[in-house]
Amino acid sequence: MSANYVALGDSYAAGVGAGAPTGLCWRSSAGYPVLVAGTLGVRLAYHACLGADIRHVREHQLGALGPSTELVTLTVGGNDIGFVPVLIACAEPAWMRDSDPVIDAALVTLRERLPGLLADLHDEVRAAAAQARRLVAGYPRLFGAHDCHLATFFSDHELRRLNAAADELDAVVARAAEAAGAEFVDVAARFAGHDVCAADPWINGPSPIVVNSFHPDRDGHDAYAEGVLGTLGVTAERLRALDADIEPGPCVPGPAPTFALPDLTSERSLAGAAAHGLDVMEVAALGHRLNIAGVTGFPDEDASARLHELDAQVCRRTGRP
């Protein structure tokens, strides 16, 4: 039996961060497509996958689309502009890398290449499922005003740039959807006040399960599902995931990398520390302490505070905001 509903896209559409994964695509039974399918009582072809970019969607995820498809949801675009490498660069201290050029390169791709890539994908989806209602869910802002995690070094300047990039990404995705006759589901407002450092976060911060880092948790996927259902005109007293009839798609992970914490004991870190006049032995020892804290689960606030002090020193010396 063919599926009424086909879910396409990247890790946000695959439910990464929301619960136990299945297979190499890390699809979760708590992902928003499962919640939508269970609540609507429709059969779901769950094709979204970890690491997917637009090319991956076109090559590996469109097989379930057809004349009987009634609903398509899509979340994609973040990996095409290299959002994970940007996060990795921004999480590193100032002696390891200047993140501004990395962000600038992502914005060039966002503005110059992404609109065309999205337009081509929408054309292909529309041709394969001409009768389907097509919904495109965007992305939330990940951050509030400040970084709260001991092992990351996001500056306030970087957080402002990352949030502005997320807003611009949503705007590009929304315009492409509208131009293709699809409906945009804006989730950003739903996530307001629920960033990674909020009192009630709906987005995972740096996680021991690194794949989950900076992805929506169960509450976040509930918010996604409610946004999709609201766009469909459906109000549910509760979201029903267990009732979903799921047909898994191909299990071919996409090419995008996963987030990684900065390795402060690496050769690159220590070379950068030396170049900026820091005590290399101190940086190595403090980095080792943070590594132990990450393994044991016991935070080392003193080591983190000193490393952040060194980061601030380098920023002052180099004039970085």
Q: How many residues does the chain have?
A: 321
d(CA 283, CA 251): 41
- Angle, CA of 133, 135 and 138, to the nearest 5°: 175
CATH code of the region 5-248: 3.40.50.1110
d(CA 99, CA 92): 8
d(CA 165, CA 167): 5
Structure tokens at 244: 């979903």
Return the minimum-mean-pLDDT range out of 157-161, 170-174, 265-269, 292-296. 292-296
Return the minimum-mean-pLDDT range out of 38-42, 84-88, 133-137, 165-169. 38-42
Residues labelled as active-site residues: 11, 215
Give me the mean pLDDT over the 15-22 stretch: 89
d(CA 321, CA 316): 8
Which SS3 state, helix, strand or coil, does residue 233 take? Answer: coil
Burial of 130 (0-12, 13-18, 19+ CB in 10 A): exposed
d(CA 124, CA 25): 22
pLDDT at residue 2 in the model: 52
For residue range 34-59, what is the model confidence (pLDDT) as tens digits?
A: 999 999 989 999 999 999 999 999 99
Contacts of 273-277 with C-beta under 8 Å, sequence gap 24+, read 273/95, 273/310, 275/95, 276/94, 276/95, 276/314, 276/317, 276/318, 277/317
pLDDT at residue 100 in the model: 97
Give me the mean pLDDT over the 304-308 stretch: 97
pLDDT band at 297 (very low <50, low <70, confident <90, very high): confident
pLDDT at residue 3 in the model: 63
d(CA 207, CA 184): 30
For residue range 145-198, what is the model confidence (pLDDT) as tens digits?
A: 899 999 999 999 999 999 999 999 999 999 999 999 999 999 999 999 999 999
Give me the mean pLDDT over the 235-263 stretch: 84
In order, the DSSP letters of 161-177 are HHHHHHHHHHHHHHHHH
Which SS3 state, helix, strand or coil, does residue 73 take? Answer: strand
Q: Who wins on pLDDT, 235 or 137? A: 137
- The residue among 139, 141, 137 whose CA lies nearest residue 232 is 137
pLDDT band at 218 (very low <50, low <70, confident <90, very high): very high
Q: In this model, does residue 1 exceed pLDDT 50?
A: no
Q: Who wins on pLDDT, 131 or 237? A: 131
Predicted TM-score (pTM) of this structure: 0.94
Plot region of 314 (φ>0 → left; ψ -120 to 50 → alpha; else → beta): alpha
Task: Kindly report the average pLDDT of the chain as a whole number.
Answer: 94
Q: Are 191 and 142 in contact (CB under 8 A)?
A: no
For residue range 57-82, what is the model confidence (pLDDT) as tens digits?
A: 999 999 999 999 999 999 999 999 99
Q: In this model, does residue 207 exceed pLDDT 80?
A: yes
